[in-house]
Amino acid sequence: MTHTKNSSNCIGIVGLGLIGGSLALDLQALGFKVHGLVHRATTATKAKERGLAQVISTDPKILSDCDLIILALPLDQLLKPSQSLLKALPPSAVITDVGSVKAPVLKTWTKLHQRFVASHPMAGNANSGVGAGQIELFKHRPWVATPDTNTDTEALKKVQDLALALSSEWITAEAEMHDQAVALISHLPVLISAALLKTLCNERNPSLLELAKKLASTGFADTTRVGGGNPTLGTGMMENNSSAILRALSSYRWSLEQFEEAMISQHWSQIQAELEKTQTLRPEFLNDKL
């Protein structure tokens, strides 16, 4: 990283949950000085116990010496930052975020800071909170930045260096394209998976439901995993990327109706041909990753 380990400057991380805490652990391991800003005093105590950063405080002033600040906040807080946070961000520092939706973040933050770089390290697991951070969460995972014509080139390079230092795979894309892509491969899966569980919530025949519970197995487990996950994360995705998700959902409903029509019309060879296509397509999305 051009942000030198030997400088007196530090890397600021705002929020020490799963993403912020994991960043803090990795950056410390790489030799960087990390300042962690948290909202609550109790969180600060826990973060200190875990040794997540060298300096941990609820006072935004700890960011004043940082030349790179990562906003590891939930989307709602990221889109409505507090005045105290905004005042504490040095104008010369590079600011980046980790939000899973990029167009609204870029639109908001371009107006708030001249050296803002919108980015999305695509890593995570089912854990959350100050106890969730873990080392090497970002290793070999995509880190997408979504610069536009206003983005400071030098600032973008600094975030790229950060991602590469963490062994992430650096990708740049337009913010709208990013949001549509994650709608298709991440947010739509949550929605269709949750709808499957909701179908069972709606089932009125108790004997049928009991038998279904006995017979459910790995296929059901796989298909419902993301739909049975963190409700707040799921709602946040839908709220903040709704237009891209609704577009993806419209296309999905059409796909589902094609299958339904083929079943009603008993066009089994058409269904066989469609399932051959889906079987062929899937590895193109997953090869060499899992």
What one-letter code names the amino acid at 5?
A: K
Which is closer to its own copies, CB of 88 or CB of 191? 191
Answer whether 158's CB lies under 8 Å from 94's CB.
yes
Q: What angle do CA 104, 240, 95 make, to 5 degrees?
A: 40
Q: In terms of Cα–Cα distance, which of 61, 55, 68 is closest to 16? A: 55
Ranges within 252-271 binding its own copies (CB under 8 A): 252-256, 258-260, 263-264, 266, 268, 271
Q: What angle do CA 79, 13, 171 make, to 5 degrees?
A: 70
To its own copies, the closest distance from the beta carbon of 54 in angstroms equals 32
148 binds its own copies (CB under 8 A): no
Q: DSSP labels for 13-45? A: EE--SHHHHHHHHHHHHTT--EEEE-S-HHHHH
* β-bridge pairing 55-57 and 66-71: unpaired
- Candidates 47-55, 101-109, 156-164, 186-194; binding stretch for its own copies (CB under 8 A): 186-194
Ranges within 41-80 binding its own copies (CB under 8 A): none
86 binds its own copies (CB under 8 A): no
248 binds its own copies (CB under 8 A): yes
Site string for its own copies, 155-174 (x = CB under 8 A): --------------x-x-x-
195 binds its own copies (CB under 8 A): yes
144 binds its own copies (CB under 8 A): yes
To its own copies, the closest distance from the beta carbon of 128 in angstroms equals 13
Interior/surface letters 65-77, b for 16+ CB within 10 angstroms, e for the rest: bbbbbbbbbbbee
Q: Where are the alpha helices (DSSP H) in 113-230?
A: 153-165, 175-182, 188-202, 206-215, 218-224
- Candidates 9-17, 34-42, 79-87, 213-221; binding stretch for its own copies (CB under 8 A): 213-221
Which is closer to its own copies, CB of 41 or CB of 201? 201
To its own copies, the closest distance from the beta carbon of 254 in angstroms equals 7
Which is closer to its own copies, CB of 90 or CB of 189? 189
